[in-house]
Chains A and B, each alone.
Chain A
Amino acid sequence: MARTTAKAKGRKAIVPQLPAKVAVQAVDGFESAAYTRDRSIVWSATPDQSANPSSFTRAEILRLSRYLVNNFSLVERVLTAIECYGVGAGLIANASTTDSDFNHQASQAFDKWGNSVFCSANNQYTLYEQQKLIARELILAGEIFIVLVKAATGYPQLTLVSSENVRHSGDKKDDSIDGLYVDDYGKVTAYNIFSGKTYQKVDAGNVIHLLRHKNIGQLRGIGSFAASLNSMRDHKDCMLLEKKAVKVHSSLALVVEKTGGEATNGGIAGELMGANVSVTGKPNVGLERAFGGAVTYLEKGEKVTPISSDRSTSGFQAFLELLVRDVCLNISIPYEF
């Protein structure tokens, strides 16, 4: 239609044409498998590296995640929401055997045990407080270790062990994989737990390793924030820079342009000084002129331009929102929540 119209008007139609030698790159018919300079190149990891990254990689992800909990409010908000709405007053056990008398007694006995701090080996947490910590760690570190111990009296108690404290000892004789002893069939038989002073090899039968599995054959947990750590750091960096910029803009009230380009002690702002500076002898005339609402006179060659700042912009806020959405997508909690 466009060509007909152009011809009718006596002009040559412009028909876009692809360069003759452009070919779509594809490997075995899959464009997504082709290397191209149009996109960033992703160096491949083996499936086992993806499922079981090195202890350094895992520790680095965890280190950054913990740092952001303390320094980026969104992360703390996510964890608190999971504590409040995921655990709340506690996940409460109800025995459900066919013996109703037993159910009543067992439920009460377990609740009594869980409601006391003596259910934890360090006498610090009730079971319901521990549930909140477990929920936090599952998101933050992707795993937590619950060691089943017994007091000298035989009373059952729990010890929560963080991800950092289950690791390879560094000893040459230690044949654990990142702190986990695995048999020939990939079954975990024991854990290497650092108690603060020494490493203790604890049988797997006494340890509950709670983790969010993302891959088959995964031995250790990876924090849920792993895929969005960069966005979180970018958000934090941008906020910091923008805040600095807004502060600088806010601190500047006006600019005095001089024909000569040289600053003098006179003129409208020449004698400005901080309000808390004690003035002896000479009054702070410049300050009074600038903030007193008085009529002022410029020196010859001076031009005053009040500074107005448009920082921060709505575009910047939209960009920050984009970064936050990336974080929320990663943990499956909607941004609007």
Chain B
Amino acid sequence: MEGVNERLGEVIEASTGGFSAQCYKLYELPALGELVKCHYDETEILAVTCGGSTNSFEPGRRPIARGHDETSEDSLYQNNPQLNQLLRSEFGTVVVGFRQEGKYYHYLPSFPVRLHSFVYRCSDEEIIAFGESLEFLILLEGAQCEVPVEELIAACIRRMSVSNGPDSGFSVRAGKKLTEMYSGDYQRLRAILARLR
């Protein structure tokens, strides 16, 4: 069911704990901590974006500075149209749950997504519904990704808080769950809480 969700990219690497996807348009990456979903038969697999990068398609070719004589960054791209074909933006994700028969589950699904699955942005309603339980934060906490886990968790909570609305108290609820998770490690907790604004 494609529905009205925006398509963000296509899976190019997949494992049970997370997947990478390439964006269709250069630089049109989802934000850090965004909730995204893929379909696998009747199941919707949900994941949180944990980092993005833009680099050359071919591992052997590295981007070089081209703008010495350019007046602006935009004119650099204008004057080098082949860049759009040679570069690609991709983002990584951490799987945080799935939806089956209308119900959300906040633990890992049994299978990874398929390659070339389409990755969709989740709507505000889906984010609110998924965020009713905060158990998935534990999956984020154990993620292996290039950004520090504290940044990832904070970005995810900030994003979900926007969908829930400023008066929903979502941030406070998430903060309390984090307090449970990080009991005994106040410094880390404090680092995340400070990033929740």
**Is B truly associated with A?**
no
B interface vs A, CB < 8 Å? none
